[in-house]
Amino acid sequence: MFNPAPLLCSVVILALSGCASVKMLPSDAAAADFGPTAEGKRGWSSYRETAHFPGVSRAQTYEAAKAGLASADFALVRAEPARGVVQGQRGMTAHDWNIVAGVYFRESGDGFAVVVLAEGSKDLGFSGDATGGAWTGRILQGMRAHLQR
């Protein structure tokens, strides 16, 4: 007689092994790469985008990071303004099992430099890694909108 339990366990383990976790992201701004590294897609489902916000304080940048994640429908997972990090997680879409993102910020000249990193699940989804690249831009757009108020 066929026992479906081993097959079911294998499928669950395979599905969970591809899930994105905030542990995949740098722990804080000190660990994030603020250098002139290439932007855009940087792997199967890894994305990076940078910005500079002149004339803003740490508190304003921190609030904008939270607003940027919220505007892209990310749930706040971790926020430590002193360490320059705000991280969030977004659930399943038609293209991904889940997406995590981190906004990292540090003082730079007359304002704050920001790096936004997004990681999608390492699976094929229903149509592959199709939407991940837009998350970093959506988060930065939400940050800009918040700062313009």
Q: Rounded to an integer, what distance in angstroms lies between the CA atom of residue 44 and that of residue 24?
A: 13
Amino acid at 45: S
pLDDT tens-digit profile of 122-138? Answer: 555 444 455 555 889 99
* Average pLDDT across the chain, whole number: 82
Q: For residues 57, 61, 64 and 68, what is the CA-based torsion angle, rounded to 10 degrees?
A: 160
Residue 38 has pLDDT above 90, yes or no: no
- CA distances in angstroms from 8 to 5, 15, 49, 60, 131, listed in the order given: 5, 11, 38, 48, 28
Residue 20 has pLDDT above 80, yes or no: no
- pLDDT, residue 13, reads 37
Residue 16 has pLDDT above 60, yes or no: no
Structure pTM? 0.80
Enumerate the domain spans of the chain.
Answer: 5-147
Residue 2 has pLDDT above 60, yes or no: yes
Please provide the CATH number assigned to the domain covering 5-147.
Answer: 3.30.310
pLDDT tens-digit profile of 86-115? Answer: 999 987 766 667 889 999 999 999 999 999
Residue 37 has pLDDT above 70, yes or no: yes
54-58, 71-75, 85-89, 126-130: range with lowest mean pLDDT? 126-130
Helix (H, G, I), strand (E, B) or coil at 81: helix
